Amino acid sequence: MARFIPAAERLTRARKLIQQARAFPVPESGLGKHDLSYVAGVKDLLRQARDLVKFISMRPGVTVEMKEEVGKVMAETEEAEREIFA
């Protein structure tokens, strides 16, 4: 059975994954930012961040502040994706 991860820790982990996606090394040879392995790696990190937080707001007993934080993290993932691939 999977270990329970508290919502606050999920938010922290998601933000770390977003930072990892931004710091993901761009290949210097070949296609650069358009390299398939680079795109897949970055998108996978951002997907993991979204997956960590997407169901937090649906759980019972979650505060309004926590729901706002989830919204911010989701917006951060979208913004990071736009910035990285622009």
- pLDDT-above-70 percentage for the chain: 100
DSSP, collapsed to helix, strand or coil, labels residue 70 as helix
Residues 21-43: tens digit of each pLDDT: 999 999 888 788 889 999 999 99
- The predicted model gives 12-28 an average pLDDT of 95
Work out the average pLDDT over 47-56.
Answer: 95
What tokens does 60 get? 């019972």
Burial class (CB in 10 A: 0-12, 13-18, 19+), 12: middle
- Closest to 57 measured CA to CA, from 39, 74, 34, 82: 74
